[in-house]
């Protein structure tokens, strides 16, 4: 029975993660300034 509970938990967790990622993508797409900030956080500055 514990194995079934673990599988149910993992299914729910994966569905929740997918839904949250889609909502986050929509939010970032509607706010270009936020997208620019996220891009600057993940890229390294160019060396002169």
Q: What is the pLDDT of residues 1-48, one digit of tens each?
A: 678 898 999 999 999 999 999 998 888 778 777 667 776 766 666 766
Query: How high is the pLDDT of residue 13?
Result: 96
- Alpha-carbon distances of 32 from 11, 18, 27, rounded to whole Å: 33, 22, 9
Query: How high is the pLDDT of residue 48?
Result: 65
Query: How high is the pLDDT of residue 12?
Result: 95
Inter-residue contact 13 to 21 (CB < 8 Å): no
pTM, full prediction: 0.58
């Amino acid at each position: 029975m514990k194995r079934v509970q673990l599988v149910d938990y993992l299914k729910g967790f994966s569905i929740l993660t997918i839904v949250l990622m889609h909502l986050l993508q929509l939010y970032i797409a509607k706010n270009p300034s936020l997208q620019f900030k996220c891009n600057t956080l993940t890229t390294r500055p160019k060396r002169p």
